A and B are shown apart, each in its own frame.
Chain A
Amino acid sequence: MGFAQAAEPWGIPHEKPVVLKGRVIEALCHLKGVCAPDCGAGKRQLGILEADGRFRLVGKGQVDFAGAAPDLAGFCGREVEADGLLIENPAITLFFAQGVREAGSTAPFTPTERFKTQWEARNSAAPEWWRADPESNAIIAETGPLGIKGLLPQPKP
């Protein structure tokens, strides 16, 4: 782990800009030995295993409301460098990856935006993927925006 030059501070409590260096693995595989051959093809939470044995869960990418599994899945089992913010909240430690590249590469970090690319390939371009997402809209149509069927917020005066 080293200090980053590029990570954008977000002003999040306990954040620290760092470049993580290590191997991409899935959390369930690392913890329990239950391993999918391709890290779960983006369907399992992933992290970076550093040389000193610390496992850093990567919980967020650059796309609003989205994680970084699509950005890391292609590196499954390989060494990477990830630029971002390590958030050591007492409740949980998460890494917000802002860019990733193959270990040892001198190329710029690739922004962690693959979620948007993949989402648009499945759907179509939208200014706010979350409001256009069919799955989200189906759930919210069923439960209501407050999560309680039939309950709607009071109109603003």
Chain B
Amino acid sequence: MLEAITPAKQAGACKTGGVDDDGHRFMTGLSKTRPSLAPWRPLRATIAAVLLAIGLAGPALAQDGARVTVTGEIADSWCTVSGLMFAKGSAHHQCAVWCALGGIPVAIRDAQGALYLVLRIGDDSDSVANPRIARLMAHEVSVDGELLERDGVKYLLVDKIADDKGVINLTHDEHGIQPFGN
């Protein structure tokens, strides 16, 4: 496995964190000390090119990720990275619902600003315009699942929503209702 993310590797990836009784690692920050995967990139590219040539590009690169617990706000990725509006909390709930139902990738943003893109919740693999996910927008949640990192994206396969506090980040008094104030 070329880029398997083992718990041991991930343990060095967080500024802070820990492991709970079930073996789930708490993710609380972006990696700054993670061992570099750069030496693997040329080999990975070569193998990928061969796999592409024989039509096995998708499943052939499948990997196993790390077991993690992620805590943060469910946010739409576009509004968060574009900076076109205030994409946090109650002010952004309505806009986030629109984006989620429009098919914008949904992520969990942790306290350090890292985004974990949700590809699956339980057995539900619909990650585009899923009403179940749209109902959770701007909620503060803790989820257990599998983390896979690839080319600048932290993908999260959620096994269980361990806690859902609802919308607790009250930002509307200062920022109104995004995006247009109504």
A51→B105 contact, CB < 8 A? no
Nearest B residue to A79 via CB reads B52
A92 engages B119 (CB within 8 Å): no
Provide the residues of chain A in CB contact with B113, threshold 8 Å.
91
CA distance A129 to B102 in the complex (A): 9
Expressed in whole angstroms, the Cα–Cα distance for A56 and B63 within the complex equals: 17
Once the chains are docked, how many angstroms separate the CA of A4 from the CA of B1?
A: 34
Among the listed A27, A90, A145, A154, which residue makes an inter-chain contact with B94, where contact means beta carbons less than 8 Å apart?
A145
Q: How far is the CA of A100 from the CA of B158 in the complex (A)?
A: 31
Whether A80 is near chain B, meaning CB under 8 Å from some CB there, is no
A96 to B105, CA, bound (A): 12
- A16 close to chain B: CB less than 8 A: no
Q: Are B117 and A12 in contact (CB under 8 A)?
A: no
The distance in angstroms between the C-alpha atoms of A74 and B115, with both chains bound, is 28
| Total contacts A-B at CB 8 Å | 199
Interface size on B, residues (CB 8 A): 68
On chain A, which size bracket covers the interface? 35 or more
B98 touches A65 (CB 8 A): yes
Q: How far is the CA of A157 from the CA of B154 in the complex (A)?
A: 43
Digit string of B109-129 for contact with A (CB within 8 Å is 1, else 0)? Answer: 100011101011000011111
Partner of B172, one of A70, A129, A153: A153
Complex interface: chain A residues within 8 A of B68 (CB): none
Verify B98–A130 contact, CB threshold 8 A. yes
Is the contact region of chain B dominated by helix, strand, or loop, or is it mixed? mixed
Are A57 and B101 neighbours in the complex by a CB distance under 8 Å?
no
Flag if A146 contacts B91 (CB, 8 Å): yes
A60 contacts B by Cβ under 8 Å: yes
A139 CB contacts on chain B under 8 angstroms:
97, 101, 131, 134-135
Which stretch in B8-16, B20-28, B80-88 binds the other chain? Answer: B80-88
- Is the Cβ of B167 less than 8 Å from the Cβ of A136? no
Partner of A148, one of B52, B78, B98, B167: B167
Judge whether B107 is part of the interface by a CB distance below 8 angstroms.
yes
Q: Tell me which residues across on chain A come within 8 A of B101, comparing CB atoms.
A: 130, 133, 135-136, 139
Q: How far is the CA of A49 from the CA of B60 in the complex (A)?
A: 13
Residues of A48-64 at the interface with B, using a CB-CB cut-off of 8 Å, are 49, 51-57, 59-60, 63-64
> Which residues on A sit within 8 Å (CB–CB) of B155?
27, 31
**Contact sample, A vs B, 5 pairs, CB 8 Å cutoff:** A29-B59, A53-B49, A68-B103, A146-B90, A147-B167
Binding site for A on B (CB under 8 A): 30, 44-45, 47-49, 52, 57-63, 77-78, 80-84, 90-91, 93-95, 97-99, 101-105, 107, 109, 113-115, 117, 119-120, 125-131, 134-135, 137-139, 148, 150-155, 157, 166-167, 172-173, 176-177
Query: 7 nearest interchain CB pairs?
Result: A53-B48, A93-B152, A33-B59, A67-B103, A147-B93, A66-B102, A33-B62
